[in-house]
Amino acid sequence: MTPASSTPRHSRITGTGSYLPPRRLTNDDMAAMLAERGVQTNDAWIVERTGIRARHFAADGVPCSDLALQAARAALESAGRAAADLDLIIVATSTPDMVFPSTACILQAKLGAAGGAAFDLQAVCSGFVYALAVADSMIRAGTARCALVVGAEIFSRILDFDDRTTCVLFGDGAGAVVLEASERPGILATELHADGRQAGILCVPGTVAGGKVTGDPLLKMDGQAVFKLAVGVLDSAARAVLAKAGRSEADLDWLIPHQANIRIMQGTARKLKLPLDKLIVTVDEHGNTSAASVPLALDAAVKTGRVKPGDTVMLEGVGGGFTWGAVLLDF
């Protein structure tokens, strides 16, 4: 008999959760708000270029950890776990509550789950995919058994509302999963990459020094450069992670890419020869929620009965850094 200690250790998603702030802004709402600043846009222009029809903004004074808390509680309930069961919390965010401590530590206190490791991970829109890969590695290594992985963002506070090419794209929200040690494979393979030479095409080039903001604290993006890079790297990451797992495109039940732009998402699906009805889309209602977009879309797909136990799912992220990655899993 094989000793128990040599039993292969894997990780599986056992629960999902999400949260969107109550304030929902349609494209018409955004157009009216921007018109007061002398900036012109309209629903047709936004939908044609992005597929976005609405997004949610957090209320003033609500911190990122509060959004994460709601998503975390939902994921724990879905998994049938209590906060006390957690021995690892990773929060992927580019909009933390403060410089330090980490939003993960703040979330840990709000959950009442003190004791396990807790830290933030910053890979912008790829953040959740990165965080899930890290949590999977820690569980496989035996340093964690029950992890909470959260993507949470309040991008509305770093937008330039005088730039219609960027401010209409983003929204706020949070998504979370509970990832647990298992003898049965769940996460099959991961693939992570970055190219810091492309840092300037999507960034917030400001910081805090001497008690003041230095540089520009608002989001800047070269949309054409991002689009060109995103489709190529998402395709290469998808093929790499399938190869690692010994799977093919035909094995995929669902593709859940970063929800940034419907044209990038559909382009990725076509390159993989996937029918578009296997593509999970929430960008129309959520906008680009950065690190929150993939777990928000995953939870929506689970809640609506599309993603079911036994399905093979690919998660993909791409964002500032320039970062990108993929996770292949059996749900």
Report pLDDT for 5. 46
Contact 204, 219 (CB under 8 A): yes
* CA-angle at 255, arms to 251 and 259, nearest 5°: 170
Query: Do residues 230 and 318 make contact, with C-beta atoms less than 8 angstroms apart?
Result: yes
Rounded (10°) CA dihedral 274, 310, 51, 220: -100
Among the listed residues 64, 105, 125, 167, the single catalytic one is 125
Amino acid 195: pLDDT: 98
> Which candidate in 146, 203, 261, 288 is catalytic?
288
Q: Which of 157, 152, 138, 137 is nearest to 106 (CA)?
A: 152
6-184, superfamily in CATH?
A: Thiolase/Chalcone synthase (3.40.47.10)
- Model pLDDT, residue 2: 35
Active site includes 261?
no
| Residue 4 predicted with pLDDT over 70 | no
Token pair listed for 6:
């040599």
Give this prediction's pTM.
0.97
Buried b (16+ CB within 10 A) or exposed e, 304-316: eeebeeeebbbbb
| pLDDT tens per residue across span 303-323 | 999 999 999 999 999 999 999
Residue 50 pLDDT grade (very low, low, confident, very high; cuts 50, 70, 90): very high
For residue range 24-42, what is the model confidence (pLDDT) as tens digits? 999 999 999 999 999 999 9
> Where would I find the beta strands (DSSP E) of the chain?
10-19, 23-26, 54-57, 88-92, 117-121, 146-154, 172-182, 187-194, 202-203, 206-209, 212-215, 220-221, 254-257, 312-319, 323-330
In the predicted structure, residue 7 carries a pLDDT above the cut 90: no
Q: Kindly state the average pLDDT of the residues 40-46.
A: 97
Whether the per-residue pLDDT at 3 is higher than 60: the answer is no
Known active-site residue 42: no
Between CA 48 and CA 6 the distance in angstroms is 54
Model confidence pLDDT, tens digit, residues 287-298: 999 999 999 999
pLDDT tens, residue by residue, 120-158: 999 999 999 999 999 999 999 999 999 999 999 999 999
Sequence ranges of the domains in the chain: 6-184, 188-330
Which candidate in 10, 56, 258, 286 is catalytic?
A: 258
pLDDT value of position 6: 52
pLDDT in tens, 102-111: 999 999 999 9
What percentage of residues in the chain have a pLDDT greater than 90?
Answer: 98
SS3 273: coil
> What would the pLDDT profile of 256-288 be if each residue is shown by its tens digit?
999 999 999 999 999 999 999 999 999 999 999
CATH number, domain 188-330: 3.40.47.10
Cα gap 287→135, rounded to integer Å: 26
Whether 6-184 shares its CATH topology with 188-330 is answered: yes
- CB contact at 8 A, 330 and 324: no
pLDDT tens digit sequence for 227-260: 999 999 999 999 999 999 999 999 999 999 999 9
pLDDT at 8 over 70: no
pLDDT at 188: 98
Are 86 and 113 in contact by the 8 Å Cβ rule? The answer is: yes
Catalytic, 258? Answer: yes
Q: What b/e readout covers 145-180, taking b as 16+ CB neighbours within 10 angstroms?
A: bbbbbbbbbbbbebbbbeebebbbbbbbbbbbbbbb
